[in-house]
Amino acid sequence: MENSSRPHRYLIPFDTSDVPHIFTDVLVIGSGVAGLRAAIEAAEYGEVLVLSKDTVREGSTGHAQGGVAVAMNGAQSVQSHIDDTLDVGCGLCDESVVRTIISEGPERVQELIRWGATFDSEDGELLFAREGGHTHRRIVHARGDATGAEIEATLVAEAQVHRNIHILEHSCVIDLISEDGVCHGAVFQHSTKGMMMAWSRQTILASGGTGRIFRETTNPPVVTGDGIAMAFRAGAKLMDLEFVQFHPTTLYIAGASRALISEAVRGEGGALVNKNGERFMTKYHPDAELAPRDIVSRNILQEMKRTADTNVYLDLTHIGRETLAKRFPMIMGLCAEFDIDIAQDLIPVRPSAHYTVGGIATDLHGQTNIEGLYACGEVACTGFHGANRLGSNSLLEGLVMGMRAGEAAGNFLHRLSKSFGPRHIKYPAERGHQSDIDISDVEISLRSLMWRNVGIERHKDTLDAAAERLEFWQTYVMERTFDNPAGWQLQNMLTLARAIVRLAQARSETRGCHYRSDYPDRDDTHWQKHSFIDRNTQEMTGV
Ligand code: FAD
Ligand code: SIN
């Protein structure tokens, strides 16, 4: 991908003999649904170290609202869940992956319940909600709209039961250590202990997506794509990165974070109206507000342009205060902070970047093309989501693939020699000049550029302009050596922005959440295939 010069293999210069070492059988990077589920499984086989950039609970998982889509609601439920996932994936899902993940979902959710998770139920029966693209109610939820927090708390508690799982918070992983195509662990910075090496027999990346590279996003600050970028530097194949999902409804109030207003709200009858109070989705799609996310997001944008407004509105006023308070207590509380009573006021909303559909290419065991390196959750791309993600299928994938990656990594341990020690690796410090740059200024500019030029609507001209600007930033940002997470995050964001733009330029069609206004139609003849990119190549391969 790099035209000018070959990118540095590592973000920082280091000599392994100068830093303290930690040893573990399985290293897990990230403590969301995928990382913790992987850690719990791997703990059946050996010692596990979990590194987490912030506190253990910080990440997308804890913020998830709608719930987990799971085939537990009736006899036909597995096949109809598969059909809905394939439909929304627009011809790019890997059907065997879809069948496996959906078939194993019920077991993973039952297991969470055994570990103490409480999902909403009535008379002892689970309650199921509906979201866009789902033909049936199949989404389990907890405390109304606090599903992610319930799952995260359950997994943290279960991990703590295992004495061989060690969780190190405030540990920012900078790079994976690899030699000759084999991963041996990672170099990381602990907030007080400084730089360290974590040597591992097997490594599982579960560091989440890249949402923060867009100005408008539902994703929390830790979601800067570090894992995908570090895997790319280590030689991993990245897949389908041009597919970025934009959630139709995030709260749009100047000064407020772009908090999600769950799609489940529309599943309960919430209507989208413009500033004139007109319901508009009915004229764009037969499923109206419950059409797939890409369609709702694009039509919101269209309606904003048509009415010259910065947002549209969600109308929940007909649902009733009691139902709203029971189903969506978190959203109700959040809106109340801005003086919006959702039982009687309209909620200003607009789309924002929500989910990284692509990621590190893996098989159904989370195995990447690098020996000893697995990936699971949003950091990975299994082909489950295809060109778009069905709502609430992500927590499901994290649970199933976390378990599978943990099991695969654990199983592999017995094939490796019992003793292993630190390798001596010295990475030279030859870098460009080191004068200061304003990291946050570049970051803000990068996020704005990605939102404007590589957002919901893309066009050759906007993509080319973005590529040119990113190339310019690259020349002075990537050459520098930073000594703090903000700098490394910026370098990771820049790396991924370039990869996303490159693949979005190449895919000259519209499919799923990749919309090209200059190629508005789906083109199965040329583009029914995945995109891959690695450090040396960019290739498009047929499905
Ligand atoms: P995350 O939960 O994001 O965890 C990533 C972890 O990696 C964190 O612990 C982070 O600190 C750590 N990390 C990152 N970089 C580093 C680094 N350099 N070094 C060390 N650690 C690092 N999906 C659904 O299915 N249902 C929903 O209802 C739903 N609602 C959502 C609501 C919101 C607001 C958001 C943002 C997402 C929602 N999603 C939902 C998507 C879903 O929550 C995520 O895709 C999923 O939780 C990702 O899990 P994960 O374990 O892969 O990553
Ligand atoms: C939501 O609650 O709308 C988010 C669900 C998801 O991202 O899957």
The answer as to whether 496 is a domain residue is yes
Given the structure tokens 């050459």, which residue do they identify?
479
Percent of the chain exceeding pLDDT 70 equals: 96
Tell me how many domains the chain contains: 3
Domain match, 128 and 168 both: yes
Whether the per-residue pLDDT at 433 is higher than 70: the answer is: no
The answer as to whether 320 is a domain residue is yes
Pocket of ligand 1 contains residue 271 by CB under 6 Å: no
Contact 348, 251 (CB under 8 A): yes
pLDDT of residue 314: 97
The DSSP code sequence of 371-432 is: BTEEE-GGGEE-SSSTTS--TTHHHHHHHHHHHHHHHHHHHHGGGS-S-------EE----S
Domain match, 32 and 174 both: yes
Whether the per-residue pLDDT at 355 is higher than 50: the answer is: yes
230 CA distance to ligand 2 middle (Å): 27
Q: Say which residues have a Cβ less than 8 Å from residue 522's Cβ, sequence separation at least 6.
A: 90, 91, 509, 510, 511
Cα–Cα distance for residue pair 61/76, rounded to 1 Å: 29
Q: Say which residues have a Cβ less than 8 Å from residue 314's Cβ, sequence separation at least 6.
A: 249, 261, 265, 266, 270, 271, 272, 273, 346, 347, 349
Whether the per-residue pLDDT at 1 is higher than 70: the answer is: no
pLDDT of residue 175: 98
96 CA distance to ligand 1 middle (Å): 24
Q: Say which residues have a Cβ less than 8 Å from residue 467's Cβ, sequence separation at least 6.
A: 498, 501, 502, 505
Give the residue numbers spanning the domain of 482.
Answer: 431-538
Domain match, 260 and 395 both: no
Neighbours of 14 (CB within 10 A): 20
pTM above 0.85, yes or no: yes
Would you say how long the chain is, in residues? 543
What is the number of the ligand closest to the CA of 388? 2
Among candidate residues 314, 333, 351, the one where a domain is terminated: 351
Pocket of ligand 2 contains residue 454 by CB under 6 Å: no
Domain match, 259 and 362 both: no
Residue 128's identity, in one-letter code, is F
* Number of the ligand 1 atom closest to the C-alpha atom of 264: 28
pLDDT of residue 255: 79
Cα–Cα distance for residue pair 358/379, rounded to 1 Å: 8
CA angle 15, 18, 21 (to 5 degrees): 100
Cα–Cα distance for residue pair 409/139, rounded to 1 Å: 30
**Of 35-49, 62-76, 169-183, 422-436, minimum mean pLDDT range:** 422-436
414 CA distance to ligand 1 middle (Å): 31
Average pLDDT over residues 70-99: 94
Whether the per-residue pLDDT at 5 is higher than 70: the answer is: no
The answer as to whether 508 is a domain residue is yes
- Residue-wise pLDDT for 403-427, tens only, equals 999 999 999 998 777 667 788 888 8
pLDDT of residue 436: 83
Whether the per-residue pLDDT at 7 is higher than 60: the answer is: yes
Domain match, 202 and 272 both: no
Contact 237, 369 (CB under 8 A): yes
Contact 392, 81 (CB under 8 A): no
Domain match, 217 and 91 both: yes
* Number of the ligand 2 atom closest to the C-alpha atom of 391: 8
Closest by alpha carbon to 489, among 286, 224, 311? Answer: 224
Whether the per-residue pLDDT at 542 is higher than 70: the answer is: no
The answer as to whether 421 is a domain residue is no
Contact 83, 71 (CB under 8 A): no
Give the confidence band of 2 by pLDDT, cuts at 50, 70, 90: very low
Domain match, 282 and 381 both: no
What's the CATH number where 266 sits? Answer: 3.90.700.10
The answer as to whether 5 is a domain residue is no
Contact 532, 361 (CB under 8 A): yes
Pocket of ligand 2 contains residue 69 by CB under 6 Å: no
Tell me the average pLDDT of the chain: 94
Tokens at residue 345, please? 């006021």
Average pLDDT over residues 343-364: 97
Whether the per-residue pLDDT at 514 is higher than 80: the answer is: yes
Neighbours of 208 (CB within 10 A): 33
What's the CATH number where 475 sits? Answer: 1.20.58.100
pLDDT of residue 4: 46
Pocket of ligand 1 contains residue 51 by CB under 6 Å: yes
Whether the per-residue pLDDT at 432 is higher than 90: the answer is: no
Pocket of ligand 2, candidates 120, 131, 385: which has the most ligand atoms within 8 Å of its Cβ, to mutate? 131
Whether the per-residue pLDDT at 503 is higher than 80: the answer is: yes
Dihedral angle of Cα 477, 198, 376, 450, to the nearest 10 degrees? -10
Pocket of ligand 2 contains residue 264 by CB under 6 Å: yes
- Residue-wise pLDDT for 459-472, tens only, equals 999 999 999 999 99
Pocket of ligand 2 contains residue 210 by CB under 6 Å: no
Domain match, 230 and 262 both: no
Pocket of ligand 1, candidates 36, 150, 222, 374: which has the most ligand atoms within 8 Å of its Cβ, to mutate? 222
Pocket of ligand 2, candidates 392, 396, 397: which has the most ligand atoms within 8 Å of its Cβ, to mutate? 392
148 CA distance to ligand 1 middle (Å): 9
* Number of the ligand 2 atom closest to the C-alpha atom of 263: 3
317 CA distance to ligand 1 middle (Å): 31
Give the confidence band of 445 by pLDDT, cuts at 50, 70, 90: very high
Helical (H) or strand (E) element with 115? none
Domain match, 238 and 274 both: no
Domain match, 280 and 410 both: no
Give the confidence band of 254 by pLDDT, cuts at 50, 70, 90: confident
Domain match, 53 and 119 both: yes
Among candidate residues 381, 415, 449, the one where a domain is terminated: 415
- Residue-wise pLDDT for 299-321, tens only, equals 999 999 999 999 999 999 999 99
What is the number of the ligand closest to the CA of 262? 2
Contact 106, 403 (CB under 8 A): no
Pocket of ligand 2, candidates 33, 61, 63, 65: which has the most ligand atoms within 8 Å of its Cβ, to mutate? 65
Neighbours of 13 (CB within 10 A): 13
Closest by alpha carbon to 480, among 439, 450, 445, 449? Answer: 439
The answer as to whether 65 is a domain residue is yes
378 CA distance to ligand 1 middle (Å): 7
**Of 154-168, 240-254, 413-427, minimum mean pLDDT range:** 413-427
Domain match, 75 and 114 both: yes
Average pLDDT over residues 204-233: 97
Average pLDDT over residues 377-406: 98
Cα–Cα distance for residue pair 382/391, rounded to 1 Å: 17
Residue 236's identity, in one-letter code, is A
**Which CA distances in Å does 222 have to 37, 112, 184, 207, 230?**
19, 25, 24, 9, 15
Among candidate residues 296, 329, 351, the one where a domain is terminated: 351
Pocket of ligand 2 contains residue 392 by CB under 6 Å: yes
Cα–Cα distance for residue pair 131/167, rounded to 1 Å: 35
What's the CATH number where 133 sits? Answer: 3.50.50.60
**Which CA distances in Å does 371 have to 172, 179, 230, 233, 532?**
23, 10, 15, 15, 18
Pocket of ligand 2 contains residue 263 by CB under 6 Å: yes
The answer as to whether 282 is a domain residue is yes
| Residues with catalytic function | 293
Dihedral angle of Cα 383, 386, 391, 392, to the nearest 10 degrees? 0
* Number of the ligand 1 atom closest to the C-alpha atom of 207: 7
327 CA distance to ligand 2 middle (Å): 14
Give the confidence band of 3 by pLDDT, cuts at 50, 70, 90: very low
The answer as to whether 262 is a domain residue is yes
